[in-house]
Amino acid sequence: MAKVMVIDDEPFILMMIEDKLKRAGLQVVTLRESKSAISRIREEKPDLIILDWMMPEVSGIEICKKLKSDPELSDIPVFMLTAKGQEDDERLGLSTGVERYITKPFSPRSLLEIVLERVGTK
């Protein structure tokens, strides 16, 4: 069973994604604060990370950059949650190794679909 780690400071988004993915049979680990993200990712070794861009303390992009420069963690695919209108920043993010951008408010149903598409066979 694939393990997905969701990092977002908005509790409802976190609960909603957790509920949706768990119902589909995925293992879900959630994290509400970004400071300990890297160490938690190292502990959990998830198959996929869903990461919010805009978080206090450490932003999703920073986490992703650190992740990609760490040979042990760099293979984990990252989906980035962005706010509307942030699409222009995507070019900035491209070099950080984000695999997919998902604009908020996203459809929970299609989020599940693309997550399953990526890790469903694990």
Residues near another protein (CB under 8 A) are 12, 15-16, 19-20, 84, 103, 105-109
Q: Kindly state the helix (H) or strand (E) to which residue 69 belongs, with its residue range.
A: helix 60-69
CB of 108 to another protein, least distance (A): 5
Residue closer to another protein (CB basis): 21 or 63: 21
CB of 89 to another protein, least distance (A): 17
Cβ neighbours, 10 Å, residue 91 = 8
Residue closer to another protein (CB basis): 84 or 91: 84
CB of 111 to another protein, least distance (A): 9
Handedness of CA 107, 44, 100, 116 (dihedral sign): negative
Residue closer to another protein (CB basis): 38 or 114: 114
CB of 103 to another protein, least distance (A): 8
Residue closer to another protein (CB basis): 91 or 109: 109
Beta bridge partners of 78: 49
In which residue are the tokens 């695999």 written?
Answer: 99
Alpha-carbon dihedral of residues 23, 117, 49, 66, nearest 10 degrees? 180
